[in-house]
Amino acid sequence: MREVAFDDVVNAVKNMIITTATNLPEDTVKALEEAYKEEKSEVAKEVIKQLLENAKIAREEERPLCQDTGLAVFFVKVGEDVKVVGGTLKDAINKGTELGYIEGYLRASTCNCFSRANLKDEVGYNLPAIIHFDLVDGDKIEIEYAAKGGGSENVSRAKVLPPAAGKQGIIDFVKEVISDAGGNPCPPITVGVGIGGTFEKAAISSKHALFRDVGTKNPDPELDQLEQEILEEVNKLGIGAMGMGGTKTALAVHIEANPCHIASLPVSVNVQCHSSRHMHITI
Amino acid sequence: MATYHLTTPLSEEDVRKLKAGDVVYLSGVLYTARDAAHKRLVDLIEKGEELPFPLEGSVIYFVGPTPPKPGDPIGSAGPTTSYRMDSYSPTLLKHGSRGMIGKGKRNQAVKDACKEYGGVYFGATGGAGALLGKRIKSAEVIAYPELGPEAIRKLEVEEFPVTVINDTYGNDLYQMGREQFEVKS
């Protein structure tokens, strides 16, 4: 059994949070640069130009890209032959999150869902983190992280379609969600689509789909084709960067699909703003 | 589409000349308020009590900034989504406020209030918090410090870049832009 020190996990998570807040990942920058070239609207082009300039300032001056530094969301794959010593893995991730948000001068956005009181003094600074664990073979801990902002989360939706709705039903539902969202989720967006599984599995898949690098191809040819088809449809909506009208509403559509019940076709759409702050490490 | 450089407080004349799509660089003072602060402001107005800042000609920025790094006046400070303020904004416009800065569409009541009282809704680029934060020269919490990022701050800004979304003529840049680029199937 391989042993990993609690503090090593804490430090790795902390560094990931601070880095991600100020450094727009290369895949996202590249996708925005391509969108700038292809966009037909001058107004939207100007917005994308500001976003690229913002990314440059954030990186050079170590300022958060966006004031909404998000809730911290993790997908963690834990090998069955590795163990954290000196505390639990969950506590280490939460501690690293808290230190990252404090030391990086990031905003604590977590609040009580009823009183709306900020939980920074009661529970911890921007805690608890949202953590999805999975058990896998091996002796490694793989941590995927994203800072998830509220604006794009607010327009996300899930629905269980009848199986007869088929692919067209999925395409129509995604279009409806993005059309209703308009400029609110800060386009150009990435659209995460979770299909199949159960109600919650579809939702979690749609979130995880957003952790994939923007612009990478889906290895499944059927899903790849569906992604391209939905992307084309979404970009016909004309919403454009920040909703000001344009041809680049979405940078990419990412799909994750699962087997599901014979009676159901669950679909979840999780929207990611243009500031797709994600990172992935292996310990 | 025209470009203007305006200094706050804004007059009714300043606001009535603006059209959806115009680019405006604002200088002077902005007041920040999000959901919780809006609720308190409207409660004060309803009770006839004094507000923490003069509403006449004011521009309210919907923002909850990150904490400043040592030596900086403010952290990153881009706009938050505006519809959450829709139920409060008409009251503030009725009582003299002239401008709002946020992102995302507003409801019909806000658009009507812009026409009736002479107000304008500006969009700033969401997610450009580092760039926009740099245009803020000073920041001071003037009310509700217990709200943390949602406290009311007085910001002094220079050439803060915004675009007119809803003007005093009922125009909406989001609708106009989308109609222009939508491909109907």
Which residue in B104, B99, B94 sits closest to B121, CA to CA?
B99
**What is the architecture of the domain spanning B3-180?**
Alpha-Beta Barrel (3.20)
For residue B140, which phi and psi values (nearest 5 degrees)?
Answer: -145, 130
What would the pLDDT profile of B45-57 be if each residue is shown by its tens digit? 999 999 999 999 9
> Could you tell me how many CB contacts below 8 A there are between chain A and chain B?
169
Asked if A126 and A162 sit in the same domain, the reply is: no
Tell me which of B34, B38, B103, B106 is the catalytic residue. Answer: B38
User: pLDDT class for B150, splitting at 50, 70, 90?
Assistant: confident
Residue B122: C-alpha distances to residues A11, B15, B45, B84 (Å): 41, 11, 23, 15
Can you tell me the mean pLDDT for B95-108? 96
Q: Give the pLDDT confidence score for residue B57 in this predicted structure.
A: 97
Quick one: tokens of B119? 């107000």
- One domain, residues A200 and A102: no
Q: What is the mean pLDDT of residues A254-270?
A: 98
Q: Which of A148, A178, A211 is the last residue before a domain boundary?
A: A148
Same domain flag for A117 and A93: yes
In a domain, A191, yes or no: yes
- Same domain assignment for residues A95 and A11: yes
DSSP 8-state class, residue A118: B
Q: Which residues constitute the domain of residue A127?
A: 2-20+65-148
Average pLDDT, stretch A254-283? 97
Q: Does the distance separating the beta carbons of A105 and B69 come in below 8 Å?
A: yes
Is there a contact between A67 and B177 if contact means CB atoms under 8 Å apart?
no
C-alpha angle A37/B127/A47, rounded to 5°?
35
pLDDT mean over B78-84: 94
Residue A176 lies in a domain: yes
- For residue B147, the model assigns a pLDDT of 84
For B79-112, the three-class secondary structure string (H helix, E strand, C coil) is: CCEHHHHCCCHHHHHHCCCCEEEEECCCCHHHHH
Percent of chain A with pLDDT over 90: 96
Q: What is the SS3 assignment for B179? A: helix
Q: Is the domain of A7 the same as that of A116?
A: yes
Segment A234-261 shows an average pLDDT of 97
User: How far is residue A214's CA from residue A180's CA, in Å, rounded to a whole number?
Assistant: 23
Maximal C-alpha separation, chain B:
54
Residue B56: predicted pLDDT: 96
Amino acid at A120: K
* Same domain? A165 vs A246: yes
Residue A281 has pLDDT above 80, yes or no: yes
pLDDT in the model for residue B39:
94
Triad A178, A180, A186: Cα angle to 5°? 60
Indicate the pLDDT class of residue B185, thresholds 50, 70 and 90. Answer: confident
Cβ-contact B108, B128 below 8 angstroms: no
Please state the rounded mean pLDDT for residues A189-213: 98
Length of chain A in terms of residues written: 283
Q: How far is B1 from chain A (nearest CA, A)?
A: 10
**Diameter of chain A measured on Cα atoms:** 58
Per-residue pLDDT at A112 exceeds 80 = yes
A170-179 per-position pLDDT tens digit: 999 999 999 9
Verify whether the Cβ–Cβ distance B179 to A43 is below 8 Å. Answer: no
String of DSSP letters for A82-116: EEEESS-HHHHHHHHHHHHHHHTT-----B-TTT-
* Token couple for A104: 């990086």
Q: Give yes or no: residues A242 and A139 share one domain.
A: no
The mean pLDDT value for A181-208 works out to 97
Mean pLDDT in residue range A242-269: 97
Per-residue pLDDT, A185: 96
For residues A127 and A131, what is the distance between their CA atoms, to the nearest angstrom?
11
Q: Cα–Cα distance between B125 and B103 in angstroms, integer?
A: 7
Residues of A in contact with B103 (CB under 8 A): 151, 183-184, 186, 242-243
Q: Residue A143 belongs to a domain with what CATH number?
A: 3.30.360
Asked if A85 and A155 sit in the same domain, the reply is no
Helices (H) and strands (E) in chain A, counts: 8, 10
- Domain positions in chain B: 3-180
At residue A115, the pLDDT reads: 85
- Does A234 reach chain B within 8 Å, measured CB to CB? no
**Could you tell me which residues come within 8 angstroms of residue A251 by beta carbon, excluding any fewer than 6 positions away?**
A28, A31, A32, A35, A188, A189, A190, A214, A215, A274
Instruction: Report pLDDT for A117.
Output: 83
Enter the ipTM.
Answer: 0.90
Beta-bridged to residue B161, according to DSSP, are: B25
* Interface mutation target, options A242, A251, A272, chain B, most CBs of B under 10 Å: A242
Is residue A26 included in any domain, yes or no?
A: no
Active site residue B38: yes
- CA-nearest of A260, A262, A281 to A201 is A260
Clarify whether residues A144 and A9 are in a common domain: yes
| A16 and A114 together in one domain | yes
Burial (CB count <10 Å: 0-12, 13-18, 19+), residue B130: buried
Integer Cα distance of A275 and B127 in angstroms: 7
B64 vs A11, more confident: A11
Residue A52 is encoded by which pair of tokens? 């690229």
Strand order in the sheet with A157-161: A157-161, A265-272, A189-197, A250-260
Task: Please tell me the total count of domains within chain A.
Answer: 2
Same domain (yes/no): A221, A239: yes
Is A174 part of any domain?
yes
Q: Hey, which residues 16-45 in chain A have their CB within 8 Å of chain B?
A: 22, 40-41, 43-44
The pLDDT-based confidence of A190 (bands split at 50, 70, 90) is very high
The reply to whether A140 and A185 lie within a common domain is: no
Contact at 8 Å (CB) between B33 and B79?
no
Let me know if residue A49 belongs to a domain: no
Q: Please, which pLDDT band fits residue B149 given cuts at 50, 70 and 90? A: confident
B48 vs A190: CA distance, rounded Å: 46
CB contact under 8 A, A54 and B131: yes
pLDDT in tens, A45-102: 999 999 999 999 999 999 999 999 999 999 999 999 999 999 999 999 999 999 999 9
